[in-house]
Homo-oligomer: A and B are copies of this chain.
Amino acid sequence: MADFQNCDSCISSPLELFERVTAQGEKVRSLKAEKASTDEIDAAVKLLLSLKVKYKAATGQDYKAGSPPVDFSPMSNNGPTTALDEDFVDPWTVQTSNAKGVDYDKLIVRFGSSKIDKELINRIERVTGKTPHHFLRRGIFFSHRDMNHILDAYENKKPFYLYTGRGPSSDAMHVGHLIPFIFTKWLQEVFNVPLVVQLTDDEKYLWKDLTIEKASEYAVENAKDIIACGFDINKTFIFSDLDYLGMSPGFYKNIAKVQKHVTFNQVKGIFGFTDSDCIGKISFPAIQAAPSFSSSFPQIFKDKKDIQCLIPCAIDQDPYFRMTRDVAPRIGYLKPALLHSIFFPALQGAQTKMSASDPNSSIFLTDTPKQIKTKINKHAFSGGKDTIEEHRKYGGNCEVDVSYMYLTFFLEDDDKLEKMKQAYTSGALLTGELKKVLIETLQPLIAAHQQRRKQITDEMCNLNHI
């Protein structure tokens, strides 16, 4: 579960756009030639069409293969700074030029997933008899693949299990990292099913300037934070790859099966790997894929090889599981179902996700109440106006206000949230007052997490034992 971050330009000239259309066309052709999955091809075709539309908008011309734009329409006179309104999302990079954050509706189209709509949320409520989590009600988990299969299985009393994970790139987790775990805990409670949590310390070792020992150490520290989320310890198996891969022939056999059925061409297309990447990176996607199959955990599922898997994760992890879903039927396994969350924004704004490597972009699970207060007051991007007078007159903008965004994640009371939205938008509520609500929401939440984490003994987080 990659969660680090780098930068990718999202500004393109008409010529760059031309090249992107050409490249995307080639990609579609090669996916078809390789008989890639329908999901993959559809997503690529959709992106191609949207690039062609942008190209026409930028140049006033239809895209014509082999004929780069020469005579731009007036629109294109902005030249090389014309923004290409296309967010960039892969497991290592999330970047958008829009202060509201990534356009998730477009991402659903590009990735070929399905929107979590009112109907699905109602079905979840009907089937479980529980009020849907506010992450569902508020569109924080906004996209899915095959969630209806999971609900069918549940209604038919067929077992399924949850799988989520984390890439332990440092010993400090931030509040954004909690999102999939908070939601997964709710799913585990509501459905009463087993959960496996993969800590991809091997991935962090391969990608970062880390020793194996350090990556393993981070895995143990992160495991404590994950356990502190309050999972049912009797139904939860947290494992580090560096340990578990060398302890489970079933897991390695599934990795080998995936590795036999995915080519370098495919991972190049999906993850952007190049010939200069190490062979560990190139084969890693199979290691993140394998826990999607119940036979990777014979100690939990015995000889049952057909237990369906449901994966709650941030949308940037979807490429791994698109690949997994493509391979699954070819190796005789069920495709995993998915629930995708939006990104947790950095304090500085929703153009990118929170990053553990920039201490000021994040609120850490180890922060003191004072640090939390200072960071929010100092760094949380405000959608308010420059002066109190202007703010009272025109009101604040919740769509870009990071404090408000954070409250949608952590303030469970729907009425209170709605009231604050109205008050902030009208100008009745000032930025400082909004920040105060967020500070008073996060301080006890993180203090409670720290209390629970203290109770975690080394034995409890003895990885690889359920």
Q: Which A residues contact B (CB, under 8 angstroms)?
A: 202, 205-206, 212, 242-243, 245-253, 256-257, 259-265, 267-268, 273-280, 282-283, 285-286
Q: A279 to B267, Cβ gap below 8 A?
A: yes
For A212, what are the chain B residues with a Cβ–Cβ distance below 8 Å? 253, 256-257
Q: Across the interface, which residues of B come within 8 angstroms of A264, CB to CB?
A: 264, 273-279, 282
Contact partner of A246 among B252, B267, B282, CB < 8 A?
B252
With A279-B285, A283-B283 as known contacts, state yes or no: A252 contacts B242, CB within 8 Å: yes
* Bound Cα distance from A261 to B277, whole angstroms: 9
* Number of chain copies forming the complex: 2
CB neighbours (8 Å) of A263 from chain B are: 275-279
Which of chain B's residues have a CB closer than 8 A to the CB of A257? 212
Q: Are B243 and A246 in contact (CB-based, < 8 A)?
A: no
Q: List 7 A-B contacts (CB under 8 A).
A: A245-B252, A246-B246, A246-B248, A256-B280, A264-B277, A267-B279, A280-B283
Closest B residue to A30 using CB positions? B275
Closest CB of chain B to A455's CB: distance in Å? Answer: 28
The chain B residue sitting closest to A264, CB to CB, is B275
User: From DSSP, what is the main secondary structure of chain A's interface residues?
Assistant: helix
Which chain B residue shows the least CB distance to A273?
B264
Contact in complex: B268, A275 (CB < 8 Å): yes
Q: Which of B206, B260, B267 contacts A260 (CB 8 A)?
A: B206
| Closest partner residue, chain B, to A213 (CB atom) | B253
- Please report the C-alpha to C-alpha distance between residue A249 and residue B285 in the assembled complex, in whole angstroms: 19
Most buried by B among A242, A256, A259: A256
| A206 surroundings in chain B (CB, below 8 A) | 256, 259-260
Shortest Cβ distance from residue A280 to the other chain B in the assembled complex, whole angstroms: 3
A273 to B265: give the CA distance in the assembly, Å. Answer: 12
Top 8 A-B pairs ranked by shortest CB distance? Answer: A259-B280, A246-B249, A283-B283, A246-B252, A279-B283, A265-B275, A264-B275, A245-B252
Q: How far is the CA of A305 from the CA of B261 in the complex (A)?
A: 35
Min CB–CB distance A196 → chain B (angstroms): 16
Shortest C-beta distance, A155 to chain B (Å), equals: 34
Bound-state Cα–Cα, A247 to B260, Å: 21
Q: Which residue of B lies closest to A256 (CB)?
A: B202
Which listed residue (B246, B248, B249, B282) contacts A279, Cβ 8 A?
A: B282
Which chain B residues border A253 with CB–CB below 8 Å? 212, 242, 246
Q: Contacts A246-B245, A249-B242 hold; do A278 and B256 have CB atoms under 8 A apart?
A: no
